[in-house]
């Protein structure tokens, strides 16, 4: 496996584990990430997923040896390779569990794409970022939907075109990073206090309302979803626990 996975007290730690090449992604790592996030998404033991990198860096993006080999193939083979990367990113982005990125060292190219697919991002103070594809004559195609959604079109125009590196403070300012620190313990603790199903439904809700017109259909959909939550076993337990001044069952 090109990644390592452990689950402890509801927290699944997924670690990119190719430190000798700065956790650059090859075809094996892409497959391992897709399969792991698909599995963890339906694993009741895992309530929160934390993604980080082994060694000094989070991820240098795509493995250039893999990219060079791919460049000698025909268009269809290249397209199939790229589609596997696109599907992996989508699997992380659409995972029903909260996904927290803990970014150490450099996150470049596809590494920024991984970060952008996570719900919450905590970066170490020395972390560096860069959408560096244009520096080697490529484009950030498969990661562009997630990165542009996170940092906005204006910032994407700058950083995707210049290929320049930027620090953790800049990443936080443009919306790629939420917090700067050496761990995500406080955020994870807060997530663990929440209803697991409610968080999954909230992720789906955000995707569905983010770019939707505020019309009668949207009003009806949001009313329907909160009604379903109120009537759910988890919703009833949460309200009862609050009124009875006790912890809900999932927080024990």
- Structure tokens belonging to residue 204: 């789906």
Cα–Cα separations (whole angstroms), residue 128 to 17, 24, 62: 19, 15, 16
Helices (H), ranges, 100-249 = 110-116, 144-162, 168-173, 185-192, 196-209, 216-231, 233-243
Strand 165-167 with 128-130, pairing: antiparallel
What pLDDT is stored for residue 252 in this prediction?
66
Which CATH number among 1.10.1370.30, 1.10.12.10, 1.10.3720.10, 1.20.120.140 corresponds to the domain 195-251?
Answer: 1.10.12.10
Residue-range domain boundaries for the chain:
3-189, 195-251
What pLDDT is stored for residue 228 in this prediction?
97
133 is catalytic: yes
Of the residues 20, 133, 164, 244, which is catalytic? 133
Report the CATH number of the 3-189 domain.
3.90.226.10
What pLDDT is stored for residue 126 in this prediction?
96
22: left (phi over 0), alpha (psi -120 to 50) or beta: left
Q: Is the pTM of this model over 0.85?
A: yes
What pLDDT is stored for residue 55 in this prediction?
96
List the chain pLDDT tens, one digit each, 252 residues. Answer: 899 999 999 999 999 999 999 999 999 999 999 999 999 999 999 999 999 999 999 999 988 888 777 778 888 888 888 899 999 999 999 999 999 999 999 999 999 999 999 999 999 999 999 999 999 999 999 999 999 999 999 999 999 999 999 999 999 999 999 999 999 999 999 999 999 999 999 999 999 999 999 999 999 999 999 999 999 999 999 999 999 999 999 986
Whether 230 contacts 197, CB under 8 Å: no
């Amino acid at each position: 496996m090109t990644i390592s996975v452990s689950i402890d007290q509801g927290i699944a730690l997924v670690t990119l584990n190719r430190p000798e090449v700065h956790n650059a992604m090859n075809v094996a790592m892409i497959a391992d990430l897709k399969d792991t996030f698909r599995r963890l998404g339906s694993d009741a033991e895992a309530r929160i997923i934390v993604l980080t990198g082994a060694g000094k860096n989070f991820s240098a993006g795509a493995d250039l040896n893999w990219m060079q080999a791919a460049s000698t193939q025909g268009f269809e083979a290249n397209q199939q390779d790229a589609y596997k990367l696109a599907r992996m990113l989508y699997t992380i982005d659409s995972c029903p569990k909260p996904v927290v990125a803990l970014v150490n060292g450099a996150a470049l190219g596809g590494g920024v794409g991984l970060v952008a697919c996570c719900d919450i991002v905590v970066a170490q103070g020395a972390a560096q970022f860069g959408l560096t594809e244009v520096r080697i004559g490529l484009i950030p195609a498969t990661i562009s939907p997630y990165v542009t959604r996170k940092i906005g079109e204006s910032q994407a125009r700058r950083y995707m075109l210049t290929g320049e590196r930027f620090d953790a403070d800049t990443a936080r300012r443009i919306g790629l990073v939420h917090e700067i620190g050496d761990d995500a313990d406080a955020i994870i603790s807060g997530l663990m206090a929440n209803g697991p199903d409610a968080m999954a439904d909230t992720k789906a809700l955000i995707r569905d309302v983010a770019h939707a017109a505020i019309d009668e259909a949207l009003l009806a959909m949001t009313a329907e979803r909160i009604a379903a939550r109120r009537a759910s076993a988890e919703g009833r337990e949460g309200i009862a626990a609050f009124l009875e001044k006790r912890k809900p069952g999932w927080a024990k």
